[in-house]
Amino acid sequence: MKRFMSRLLAATLCTTALAAGLPARAETLADALISAYKNSNLLDQNRAVLRAADEDVATAVGSLRPVLQWVADYNQMDTRQQTGGVATIGLQAQMTLYDFGRNRLGIDIAKEAVLATREALVGVEQNILLTAVQAYFDVRSALENVSINENSVRVLGELLRATRDQFDVGEVTRTDVAQAEAGLAAARAGLAAAQGQLAVARENYKAATGHYPGPLAAAPRAPALPKSTDEARAIAQRTHPLILQAQHMAKVADLGVAAAATERMPDITASASVTHNEGGTNDSAIGLGLTQTIYAGGTLSAAHRKAIAQRDQSRAALLQASVGISQGVGGAYAGIQVARAQIAANELQVDAATIAYNGVKEEAKLGARTTLDVLDAEQTLLSARAALITAQVDLQTANYSLLAAIGLLTADHLNLGIPTYDPEAYFNAVKGAPSTSIQGKSLDRVLQAIGKN
């Protein structure tokens, strides 16, 4: 037994040592998106907004139910026949029996508002994930720029040493040395700027994901995208949360017109009460009531006209949302084409600038080129490499911008492999307006599941 435990301990230590010696796993874009989804305060904020909208449905449902109140009363009387006080305590209930659909319309309006708020939450989710994509590729771009500038400082440092050696033997002038010194100083300034951009990118990454970036993995394969602008626009009209939200808000406005019309209709209510008087007697009463507003100074007509105007506003907003989304899809698709063209051109530029730089260096060794020529060629190559990095980042972000433009940049569509927020769980728990009993316990479980209490 002791021998077995010794072998087990040795194997454990060996495994631990091997694990400690392995390099840290590079963080992928999917990792960044998962962190952004899990750590976003903005998502938490808008989920709370959605839960508040869910409660509006519960409030509307509750308006159809009886209202039960206890009432305590004390009256001081001072008359010729009697002086003193009388105390009573009792229960009273009231319920709307028929209101010509006013409360039912209120429930439908609240439900449509919930659906609109869900789409708004999807829009926030898309923005959060797109920000994480941008932050991820900005860090990668900044790291590559730092590496390029570090290499430039190293190369120009070697050039300066070579130029000084040439000056010592009289092959070049003091001007050549000064030019090499100036070039190295400019390279160091560029490196400092690149390091500053990296620091900013790291802060943006932390704001987007909740932590600073570690080693980042290579850019993933581009997501599947529509093959044409027309296909992308068609998908966007069906799935983009802004359009779906506008559709639900238009339905809310239509229902609002109908609800405003019912305000002119009567209400039929029932009431019941039981009262215990101080003298020991009990009173009870049951009643029916019918009320209707005859004149309200024009407020009901004004409310109806306002609802009609809001309906027209919502319909126009829906049409404009469609126009805006179509424009955004076209712009995102064009951005992809431009980035691809820029990458192709920049790759040719880098190849040509590399050949030119190597040639100028060799010619400078033979005295056919000056130090300034070498510095110019090196700067041209540096600019070409930086432009290529920028174009590659632009293409990556443009791909995901198109996904957002058609409404598919979500955790579910990207298959991130994590549990996602279920907007129906809380709604289903509160739509019946629970207060206690089994429904209340079910609501407590839902709150615990989403981390709220």
Expressed in percent and rounded to 5, the helix, strand and coil fractions of the chain are 70, 10, 20
Q: DSSP state, 37?
A: H
In three-state secondary structure terms, 384 is helix
Please give the average per-residue pLDDT across 370-393, as a whole number.
Answer: 84
Looking at residue 370, its pLDDT comes to: 79
Q: pLDDT above 70 covers what percent of the chain?
A: 89
**Lookup: tokens for 164:** 């000084």
Q: Quickly state the pLDDT bin for 16 (edges 50, 70, 90).
A: very low
- Which residue, among 25, 79, 133, has the nearest Cα to 409 in the 3D structure? 133
pLDDT, tens digit (0-9, with 9 covering 90-100), for 276-330: 887 778 888 898 888 888 888 888 889 899 999 999 999 999 999 999 999 999 9
Please give the average per-residue pLDDT across 63-90, as a whole number.
Answer: 78
- Which residue, among 248, 223, 249, 210, has the nearest Cα to 128 in the 3D structure? 210
Query: Is residue 436's pLDDT more than 90?
Result: no
In degrees and rounded to multiples of 5, residue 69 shows phi and psi of -135, 150
pLDDT, tens digit (0-9, with 9 covering 90-100), for 18-69: 334 445 678 999 999 999 999 999 999 999 999 999 999 999 998 888 888 8
Query: Is residue 81's pLDDT more than 90?
Result: no
Query: Is residue 438's pLDDT more than 70?
Result: no
Looking at residue 7, its pLDDT comes to: 44
198 or 97, higher pLDDT = 198
Element (H or E) spanning 268, and its range? strand 267-277
Weakest-pLDDT range from 5-14, 192-201, 277-286, 298-307: 5-14
d(CA 117, CA 124): 11
d(CA 437, CA 326): 49
- Which residue, among 93, 90, 86, has the nearest Cα to 71 in the 3D structure? 90
Looking at residue 345, its pLDDT comes to: 93
d(CA 225, CA 222): 8
Query: Is residue 80's pLDDT more than 70?
Result: no
Looking at residue 376, its pLDDT comes to: 83
Q: How many residues does the chain have?
A: 453
pLDDT, tens digit (0-9, with 9 covering 90-100), for 110-123: 999 999 999 999 99
Query: Is residue 408's pLDDT more than 90?
Result: yes
How far is the CA of 249 from the CAs of 54, 253, 324, in angstroms?
15, 6, 17
d(CA 216, CA 259): 56
Looking at residue 452, its pLDDT comes to: 53
Query: Is residue 6's pLDDT more than 70?
Result: no
Residue 392 makes CB contacts below 8 A (sequence gap 6+) with 141, 219, 339, 343
What is the separation, in whole angstroms, between the first and last Cα of the chain?
Answer: 50
Looking at residue 13, its pLDDT comes to: 35
pLDDT, tens digit (0-9, with 9 covering 90-100), for 48-60: 999 999 999 999 9
In three-state secondary structure terms, 222 is coil
d(CA 453, CA 269): 37
Looking at residue 158, its pLDDT comes to: 84
d(CA 382, CA 188): 13
Q: Tell me the average pLDDT of the chain.
A: 86
Query: Is residue 11's pLDDT more than 60?
Result: no
Please give the average per-residue pLDDT across 253-260, as a whole number.
Answer: 93
- pTM greater than the 0.85 cutoff: no
How far is the CA of 329 from the CAs of 60, 234, 370, in angstroms?
39, 10, 51
Looking at residue 82, its pLDDT comes to: 63
